[in-house]
Structures are given as structure tokens and as C-alpha cells.
A and B are shown apart, each in its own frame.
Chain A
Amino acid sequence: MKILVCISHVPDTTSKINFTDGDTKFDTNGVQFVINPYDEFALTRAMWFKEKQGATVTVVNVGNSTTEPTLRKALAIGADDAIRVNAEATDGFFVAKQLAEVVKNGGYDLVLAGKESIDYNGGMVPAMLASILEFNFVNACVGLEIDGTTATISREIDGGKEILSANLPLVIGGQKGLVEEKDLRIPNMRGIMMARKKPLNVVEAIDFNVTTSSSSFEKPAPKGACKMVDADNIDELISLLHNEAKVI
């Protein structure tokens, strides 16, 4: 089985979000970039298939050269090789088109992605990719087993879980549950050493007009002060929620 894991390169969750150039560009100054948390679950699950079922695992990112340390980290966690599609990832449709090209050229059976990236939160790339490739797609995936060419998948639904079965090839939008938090892999020294020698292939992007473009960023309006209510005066809280906030 050939697995492709899509890796998004995102600001660490504690990053301060600021903009430059008249609020048109994200200010990367002092920001630490990491593997998108949702993608870590996908990558760890892929490692499981590699170890238990002999799968090969390729990681891919659409981005400029600054994303390479993130791909190296994925290699250190255990992926066999990496591909970087050399382009700015600004539009989800564009990214999905590039990834589809990688999938077609590489003949992957299973594409694992996180259900969204925590930078633009579009949540659109995995579904678009599946749609372009005409592969089966399951989002919000919290469990995945593969037997031959058949996948058994559990996905989170409102208030519960659904078990599905589908044939490969398949695209998965994953999240916590795909593996447990405590089982997430982090690179060890040996992994980091080995990652240096693993192939990281840079491919050029195919032509595709972007369908959306970012015109500017805004920060939320500053919040007013929190109104404090005395712990002995719960009636006041209820009255505020009813009369002022009008939410109960």
C-alpha cells in the first residue's frame, strides 16, 4: 500500500497573530512553525500502517522552501520520503489541484490529511482533492483499518459515530481518534539523523489559476472588560444573562 500524507506547515498554536504590509501579509516574525496538529494524527496512523502492514509513506507539502524543516520533521517521525510542490499555498483549490497531480503521478492508494489546517481553517483541501481525483472521501475520521483494498472507517457525526466501509483509493480527513493523543510520534535523535539522508524532492507546480485571493486581514475588535459577579450573588448573574445579554 502506498500512502501519501499531506502536511501543512502552520504557526504553533501559541503564536501571536499579527500582520504587516498594511494588513495584507501574515507577520512570520518570531513565529515558530509546526506540523499542523490534525496532520500529526494522520502521520502517526500512517506510521502504524508502515510498521504493521508494510505500507510506504510519502509526505507532501505545497509551499515555498521555508516549509522544508517541517517536512524534515515528518521524515524524522518516520516517513520514507517527502515531496514539496514549489508554490505559495494561498488558495485551497489550487493546493488540492497540486496534490491531485502528486497523487496521480505517484499512484497512491490512500491519502491521509488532517481535516483542516489551523492557519486558514479552510477545511476544504481534503474534500476537494477527493473530488478532483474521484476517490472516496471520509471527513472527521476517528478510526481507520485497512484490509486488502477495503477500508473500515469510523467518522464523528453530531452526537455520535458512524462506521463506514469503502474501497481504496481513498482520501481521509483525520483528527484525534485516528490515533490517541498519547500515541502521537515525536522525532527522536536517530530519526532526526536518518531524516537528513531521506529524499526530499521538489517538484514544480502545474498551471492552475487561483480561484480565491486574500485581500486583507483584520483582527477581532477588542473586547470590553469582563463584568465580575460576586459568588454569593448568583441572582445577579441570572439577571444579567436574562436582561442584559438576553441569552437565557
Chain B
Amino acid sequence: MSVLVYAESSEGKFKKVAFEATSYGKKVAEQLGTNLVVLTINADETSELSTYGAEKILSVKNDALKSLNAKVVADVIKQASEKEGASVVIIDSSADGLTVAPMVAVSLNAGFASNVVALPSSASPFVVKRKAFSNKAFNNTEINTTIKVVGLAKNSYGLHENQVSGSSEDFSPSIIESGITSTSIDKTAGAVTIADADIVVSAGRGLKGPENWEMIEELAEVLGAATACSKPVSDMDWRPHSEHVGQTGKPVSANLYIAIGISGAIQHLAGVNSSKVKVVINTDAEAPFFKAADYGIVGDAFEVVPTLIEKLKSFKANNA
């Protein structure tokens, strides 16, 4: 028996969720009285995982796995699970993780709970708490199958250091046909993505027009943040669809979410509420967002944001 974690990486580097999933997996393994095995695909520094408790690491290196094909990756995870006799398989609930994990569950005949936010409240029966109703509630879900697949929500458990001496083992699974050909990838190089960002700077209709986004981008740059927007802003093509966050857009669970000129409609809040700290800047003291935020400024974005940028620049310079 064991607990298997799939540690996601991109271009050789682990994503933060990989360390979070490993931290979580270590604790679940302790709860079940078993050991943790972490699977990596084309990752460079697998030893980084041992900081978070990975004793045994399975390292797959294969060029056929360079671009993510969910079906192929799912099959590799399945092979690793079978080899290690995994009773619990943990995969983060990022967009890619959420595509892969259900396929792993089907191939292992396992029950699957996605967007899990806490350690199992009980190991037998195996009960996990997961997000439901777009962050308006949680559901305690019992997984009844022998093998269980858990999808861990980003920024829910956190990173927990637990240095162990790890050993890495090469693993050469068989690679199945994907059936899907990638013909081109169009990606903004270097930009911080909403999914990976610790800080997200988001702006809404209060900004009046696309020409005013320069200060939003600058604020994001100073903070090393990703930029996002409300739905009407992307519907009007002020900003690309990929920036639309909320219940029907991308989910945000960042450490810090800054909402500028966004009223805080229920559908917007549903998608961003699981962020740890929320700051709102709005001219209207009655805007619903103030009820959901941790820090608020009643003020005009066109005055507040430029000052905030200047002050943050000197703060960063002094704290560098």
C-alpha cells in the first residue's frame, strides 16, 4: 500500500502545486500509516520534493510527454499507481490536473473527489471536504472505492516543510497513443498566469475603457502579479477572454486578490472568494465587494492606483 502524488511540472520546473500536493500526500500517508511515493514527469530537480516529505520519487523522462496530453499522462499515473500499489492517488485540481485525474479514476475504477480543501477528516470511511456551489459551500464527500483519487485545490493546504532524505528511481512506463495532435501553441512568454500567480490584480467596468489598463498592468508588474478582469470587461473585448475570472470564468485562489472598479456581483465573488486576502478599491462605499473583502479603500481608481504603484515601488526598493 502507498499514497501516490503526481507532482506537476512545466518545462522541467515544479509548479507550486507540486509542493503543496507533496506536503498533503505526506500527511495523508501518515494518517493511513503508509508511505508516500511521488511521481514526476520530465522534472529536473526531483530532490526539491524531499523538502516536503517525498522519500521515494519516481522520475519519468520521456520526450513523448513534453506537451501535456491528458490521456497519455493519465495512463502513466495509472501505471505508477499499480506498480506502487497505491490506495490513494493525489493530483492537484489545476486545469490540467482536473483533466487528467478523472481519467486516472476511471482506469483504476476509483472514486474521485475534486477541489479538495483539507486533509481527510476520517481515513475509514475516507471522507474529504471539497468545494461546492462555486465556493458558496463545502461538501463532505465519502469515497467508497478501494482506490481513491483526490484532487487537491490550489492554496488550500499550503506548503509544509518536512525535510527527508529522498531517493529517486527512474521509471519507464509504456506510452500509449494519444489520438490527438497538437498543431500549434500560442503562449505569451514570461507572463504570470492567473493559475500560477500568488497575487492577482483584477479590474472591472469601473475602469471605463481598455485604454486605461496601462496602470493595471504596471501595478501587476510591480507586484509580480497576474492580471484579470470581470466578465463584462472581457465580453466588451476590453481584455482577452483568458482574463475573465468568476463563476463562469477562471477560478482564482491566490494569496492576494486586488479588485479595482469591480462591484462584487455574486457571480464574480463566487470565483474569487477562495483567495486568502482580498483588497477592494471602489468609488462606491456601498459596493457589495466591501462585504467580501479584507481591506478596502473608497476612492477613485484613477487616483488610488497610480499612488499605490509609486508607493509599492519604493516599498519594494527598501525591502529588496
Contact = CB atoms under 8 A, between A and B. Distances in A.
B169 interface: no
A71 interface: no
Interface stretch (A1-9, A43-51, A90-98, A102-110): A90-98
Interface residues of B, number: 93
A127 B187 contact: no
B298 interface: yes
Interface string B144-162: 1100000000000000000
Given A176-B241, A215-B142, A119 B304 contact: no
Contacts of B235: 181-182
B195 interface: yes
B70 A163 contact: no
A197 interface: no
A176 B244 contact: yes
Given A213-B141, A227-B295, A131 B106 contact: yes
A242 to B, nearest CB: 7
B299 A121 contact: no
Contact of A211 (B110, B294, B312): B110
B73 to A, nearest CB: 12
Interface string A10-38: 01011001010000000000000000011
Contact of A123 (B10, B98, B182): B98
A93 B141 contact: no
A240 B315 CA distance: 13
A245 B277 contact: yes
Contacts of A131: 71, 74, 102-103, 106-107
A245 B257 CA distance: 12
Contact of B181 (A13, A165, A223): A165
A125 to B, nearest CB: 8
Interface string A142-167: 10000000001000111111111111
6 contacts: A14-B267, A121-B133, A160-B185, A160-B188, A231-B300, A245-B294
Interface of B: 10, 67, 70-71, 74, 93, 95-96, 98-103, 105-107, 110-115, 127, 129, 131-145, 179-188, 191, 193, 195-196, 198-199, 223, 235, 241-242, 244, 247-249, 255-256, 266-267, 270, 273, 276-277, 279-280, 290-300, 303-304, 307-308, 311-312, 315, 319
